[in-house]
A and B are shown apart, each in its own frame.
Chain A
Amino acid sequence: MKNLLEFLQKYYHWFLFLVLEALSLILLFQYNSFQNSVWFSSANVVAGKVYEWSSAVSAFFSLNKNNEDLMLRNYYLERQVTQLRRLYAESTQKTDSSEVKELDYLSQYKLVPAKVISNELHRANNLMTIDKGKADGIEEGMGVACGKGIVGVTYLTSDHYSVVIPVLNSNSSRISCAIRGHQYFGVLRWYGKDASHAFVEDIPRHARFKRGEWVETNGYSSIFPAGVLVGQIVEVYNSRDGLSYKLKVRLSTDFGNLRDVVVITDKSIAERVRLKQAAKDSLRLNVSE
């Protein structure tokens, strides 16, 4: 302290000079607009750069908090989206586009809409009940489909209810289906356990197809028109006797979620099929003659 005071005493005129000079410079820069503007702009650049650095540093330190806030916000927003989506779906009750297409396709045939009132998935032979019966024009042996694809065949009908054998039944009628775009056809079977997959058997070994291709009905039965979706090919296996392929198909119909179905009451399918078959037979006979 004593040294400092001595130093100050020895060089006091330096300090006085500095003080007076600083004072004059302050006056100069404050009251003369040109010097003021030059000073101001360059001082501002310096101050600006310093503020930029310091704010970058403090922003870095607050990143953690920002992260947490964003996560929370994200969570709330996602929940909101889910809620809104559900509300929207409930309020509009529209089916999605692929279902609409399927129903449109089917609508060229006579259809009776019905609701599934009883369903099961986990037995070896599952049965389904729908709320339409003889009074609505349903008969035994009619095809049942939904917006997503094939469902099954009616088995028993009463006046107001019908029992349907769905695809998920090892006794289901052998529905003939083909790979879309090709003529190769096979028979749809289900062996239990997995409610979302079924098997298409007797695909000839010379067939050329890929996994992921769609399988649909080919119209060879009198129950379903051609083109009703069955599912997508997932795996290809050899049949037990090695003479044909067995395709594992992921069913496009969600049997667990099934509520609205249509029964194809169009008797004309059966007539058409029979007529076609009769024509083929007669041609064969004529040719061979």
Chain B
Amino acid sequence: MSADALKRVVLFIVFILAQGIVLGRIHLLGVATPLFYVYFVALFPRNYPKWGVLLWSFCLGILVDTFSNTPGLASTSLTLLAFIQPWFFELFVPRDSVDDLKPSLSSIGLLKYSYYITTLVLFYCLVFYSLEMFNFFNGLRWAMCVVGSTVITLALIFTFEIARSRQ
């Protein structure tokens, strides 16, 4: 297996364990849950085979669900996210960039990266919580969940990104 695939496998396992053991149990104010594994999907570089993105995300979703005992919830949302991620990242890529550009703070700049990651995370949280609640009777709670989780997830992701770009 290539180095890249191996790295990805390790990341995969780390994300799953982190989510299952630590992060999945944090519910700030009863609404906000850090959904850190979204970062895994956001890390796929440009021109990575689309079927690969889909398959990785699907498997990640399944395993995260296994830990949280909600089969199908995360996998649905992550597969959807993985479907749009390649196309979405393409929107932020400058015209003369490398073919396998990796999305990070250093590669496309703070502003663009913020837009990119915020949109992805927000989209994911919308889909995730809509599926989880499966009704909109409690509109306020739904909105609070979405916003809260987005905020806390973004906080985590930005922390990591800044740490990476410092390296």
Contact = CB atoms under 8 A, between A and B. Distances in A.
Interface of A: 12-13, 16-17, 20-21, 23-32, 34-35, 38
11 contacts: A13-B50, A20-B55, A24-B75, A24-B79, A25-B72, A27-B65, A27-B71, A28-B73, A28-B131, A31-B70, A32-B70
Contacts of B80: 21
B134 A34 contact: yes
A26 B58 CA distance: 13
Contacts, number: 60
B73 A13 contact: no
B contacts with A: majority SS: helix
Contact of B75 (A17, A27, A30, A34): A27
Given A21-B79, A24-B79, A13 B54 contact: yes
A12 B51 CA distance: 8
A29 B54 contact: no
A26 B2 CA distance: 33
B83 interface: yes
B72 A24 contact: yes
Contact of A17 (B65, B70, B72, B79): B79
Contact of A30 (B51, B71, B131): B71
Contacts of A29: 72
A35 B62 CA distance: 17
A26 B54 contact: no
Contacts of A35: 131, 134
Nearest to A32: B70
Interface of A is mostly: helix
B55 A28 contact: no
A276 to B, nearest CB: 100
A24 B51 contact: no
Interface residues of B, number: 21
B78 to A, nearest CB: 8
Interface string B48-61: 00110011001001
Contact of B72 (A13, A16, A31): A31
B118 interface: no
A167 B161 CA distance: 127
Nearest to B58: A20
Nearest to A17: B83
Contacts of A34: 134
B114 interface: no
Contacts of B50: 13, 16
Nearest to A26: B72
B62 to A, nearest CB: 8
A32 B72 CA distance: 8
Given A17-B79, A17-B83, A20-B55, A38 B134 contact: yes
Contacts of A26: 72
B131 A13 contact: no
B51 A13 contact: yes
Given A20-B79, A24-B79, A38-B134, A32 B71 contact: yes
A34 B79 CA distance: 22
Contact of A28 (B54, B58, B72): B72
A14 B113 CA distance: 26
A13 B134 CA distance: 27
Interface in B104-132: 131
